[in-house]
Structure 1
Amino acid sequence: MGGHYGMAVLVGVALLLTTGQCDVSCRGTDGRAGEAGAQGRDGFPGEKGEKGEPAVMDDGPVDVGVLLRLKGEEGSRGPQGVMGPKGYRGHLGPTGDPGELGHPGPEGKSLGQGGQLSPQQGRSAFSVIRTDNSYPRFGQKITYQQTVVNAQDDFNAATGHFICSVPGFYYFTFHSMAKVSVCLGIASDALTDKLGFCDYNRNNDQVMSGGVVLQLTVGQKVWLESFRDQQKDAETRDIHEKRIIFSGFLLF
């Protein structure tokens, strides 16, 4: 009995010794930290807040410096825009009344051909108007219904001829107005070929003019006539208002 009790005491002492040593050298290792979890989903949007109070205008003076700082800088000037289309040409007004005859010029001088011209002989000038609304026939001389000036009676309105009675240098010019295409030529014994002028209608009144300086001797003729170029047949049947003015005068 006593032997068993002694054995138990020894075992208990051994256990105490063993336990004391494990407190220092028998301690377990620390575990590692856990990994971060996945990011959670966004929450639902919150409710819309209430509308704020309107701004109150200050009753005091406005600070111009503050306004200038708030204003943005002026931008650079942009490029010039494309020019717009040209406007339509207006309608030609009615033909005006002929002007009054001018005052007589100075007395004429010798033309260097052995004779002295009288003042009356040195005044050769004419201006006539065609008022017929029919289209002038091709290849024929233009005739006129109204005579404005015909000094020396050098112009024959019935035949459309100017016949030189005073030799010298002359200036001849014409002006025409029509609503269709017209071609007119200045013809003369002093020219080897006619001087042609054309104007083609684009749904507007057409105004055309031409002129020439010629040296004429006594008896030479000058006239105006119509000719065909690119006119349409329908234009030759036009009966709208037309005007042709033919003029000429002695330069020297």
Structure 2
Amino acid sequence: MALAPVAAPALLLLLALPARAWPGLGLPRRPCVHCCRPAWPPAAPGPHAPMSDGEEWVWPPRVQPTIDISILKGAKGEAGLRGRTGRSGKEGPPGSRGPRGRKGQKGQVGPPGAPCQRAYAAFSVGRREGLHSSDDFQAVTFDTELVNLDSAFDLASGRFLCAVPGIYFLSLNVHTWNYKETYLHVMCNRRATAVLYAQPSERSVMQTQSLLLPLDAGDTVWVRMFQRDRDNAIYGEHGDLYITFSGHLVKPATEL
């Protein structure tokens, strides 16, 4: 069948147009139907699949290459030299108290302690025979022992040797001689610490002197007569004890 002269150029124009221009001409469009679709590679998106601006569909899809790190890992190197020790940091605040631990088992009984030892020191001596001074300084000796702990007092020299340091109470008692002066010193080593004195009188009287004195170990305590321009004497007789010298420890130095 021959085409009309006017229809021939229009048909040629339609054949020359691209396929995507046909919908604008109002021509009927039939969807593309595939009778079979291979599992791989996947089908390209259809003409109605939404695409973002600038997105390009690429086949085959781009795959990022991966590197096996275990292949690139080298052998373990030797340990290096130890560096210098750094300065200590500031001390932190104390931590909170920890929980209370469990009660431990009862321990064994320990050995008995040393018994409590209290120091004692005391002496009390007397002289029954009277004594007249024959020198400027004359030690008074004693012939009667009343109390003498640990034999610390020597009657022959008239001296008490301190073995327990501390505070001591000392007391000296004498009877004066008629019309004669009585002048005595209570001595600590070579130092006069107290005086017992009575002026000459027609009547004899009892005189006493007492004091507290700190003594160190090795100190000596004794009594001496001090003669001046008058006769110096103390009275005594064998029947009675008029002259006494006593002392005792009041408090040891360890308790001071």
- Shorter-chain TM-score tier: 0.3 to 0.5
Return the index of the structure with the highest Cα Rg. 2
User: How does the TM-score come out when normalised to structure 1?
Assistant: 0.47
Of Structure 1 and Structure 2, the greater helix share is in 1
User: How does the TM-score come out when normalised to structure 2?
Assistant: 0.46
